[in-house]
Amino acid sequence: MRDQCGSDDAPRNGEGSPLRVSSRAVLAIAAAGASLTLASVTAGTASATEHAAVAAPASATYSTTGALAGVAAASESNAWAVGYAGGGTAPTKVLMLHWNGRNWSRVTSPKVLTGPGELAAVTVVSASDAWAVGNTGSDLHPHTLILHWNGAAWSEVTSPAPVTDASLSAVTANATGGWAVGYYSTGPAAIQTAPLIFQLTGTTWSQSDPSFGSGTGVAMDGVATTSAGDTFATGLFTGMITGVLASWSGSSWSWVSSFPEAGTYHWLNAIAAGPDGNAFAVGLNTGSAPSRVISIEWNGHSWVKAPAPSWANLYTDAFAPGGAAWAAGDRYPGGSVRTTRMMIFRWNGHAWSSVAAPATTAQPASLGFATARYGWVVGRIFTDSGHSKTFIARWNGHAWS
């Protein structure tokens, strides 16, 4: 696959979002005081034993109660979107959609794709190689879920064993390896939440640096690897809703001790890596009213501020093949959440510049591109009932609609 992150076999998607499972579930766990335990983790490989089955064709704007949290595209006629269906008092169910070039339809096999839980992210390596991550179970007692697409079927990865009371929030992969990040927790206090990181080598997943971040109260929500081989992950200290940044040395993870925009209530929502060894991490400053944009760039040597319009919330970013960087979020002027307006930005080489977005109150969660002229943004849109519905819009090279 070409270039989400700079080389022909680099991942197209691997960013995180506040709609993704880690933030949603961790905050629910902290509020409810659930007691969590870490299951044993062993290395293993993915196997494909069940054939993909899809429901009746939907449309280019598939709408159901729930939300979409991730999207990735192998081509203009082959894309995947993931999230959850349902909401309210009823448990959410895992949701996966497929785009065949004409319409979106729901994927219903293997059985886990109609069971309780949600998918948080999806990444495409090629038409015959894709990964999706999230959790199954309830918000209070989830366990990790990894799915693999082999070109003919999705299958659940059962080795390493799913981690109980844990969730995966972001995934990135290429032809030789990748990463998935999230959290696990061992008790009700925020400090008992810790990063959960899996590394993919070939087709084998294993837990990476298991002691990293133990007792920090951090849940990871984004991960990306640059074309130069630098890997970074974003996260959230759940006790103070404060963003953190971590880097991989090749043998262990460590915290980035200082970076622009670091601070209490400064939330890093997503990270994406580009073709020139660079990367962008985006988010929002929840300590101001209204929230202010947080945007930083890795220039191959250090993290620097990346200029952006002040008043907005950025939830996701991505690179399109060819190297164009995109980010999406919304602006909240006050009052009902349904008064928000979607905002989409493109990097012009010096700053994020606004691109006309669909006239909607939808909250975007993920961007994914098949080519520079064909892409998707997905998320959720709130209804008068207070529930949300899935949202999908498409980029045709000239406009979003």
Spatial CA neighbour of 3 closest among 125, 121, 85, 107: 125
pLDDT at residue number 240: 79
| CATH number where 92 lies | 2.130.10.10
Contact present, 315 and 256 (Cβ < 8 Å): no
What is the span of the domain harbouring residue 158?
21-38+50-395
Look at residue 168 and tell me if it is in a domain: yes
Q: Please give the share of the chain, as a percent, with pLDDT higher than 70.
A: 83
Look at residue 400 and tell me if it is in a domain: no
Look at residue 272 and tell me if it is in a domain: yes
Look at residue 75 and tell me if it is in a domain: yes
Q: What's the total number of domains in the chain?
A: 1
- Give the predicted TM-score (pTM) of the model: 0.87
Q: Is residue 13 scored above 50 in pLDDT?
A: no
Look at residue 2 and tell me if it is in a domain: no
SS3 319: strand
Look at residue 290 and tell me if it is in a domain: yes
Q: Is residue 351 scored above 50 in pLDDT?
A: yes
SS3 29: helix
Q: Per-residue pLDDT averaged across 27-54, rounded?
A: 33
| CA–CA dist 157, 145 (Å, integer) | 8
Q: Is residue 336 scored above 90 in pLDDT?
A: no
Look at residue 11 and tell me if it is in a domain: no
Q: What is the helix (H) or strand (E) element at residue 28, kind and residue range?
A: helix 21-32
Beta pairing partners, 273: 279
Contact present, 27 and 221 (Cβ < 8 Å): no
Which of the two residues, 68 and 53, has the higher pLDDT score? 68
Look at residue 16 and tell me if it is in a domain: no
User: What CA–CA distances, in Å, run from 284 to 250, 289, 329, 357, 396?
Assistant: 30, 11, 10, 19, 28
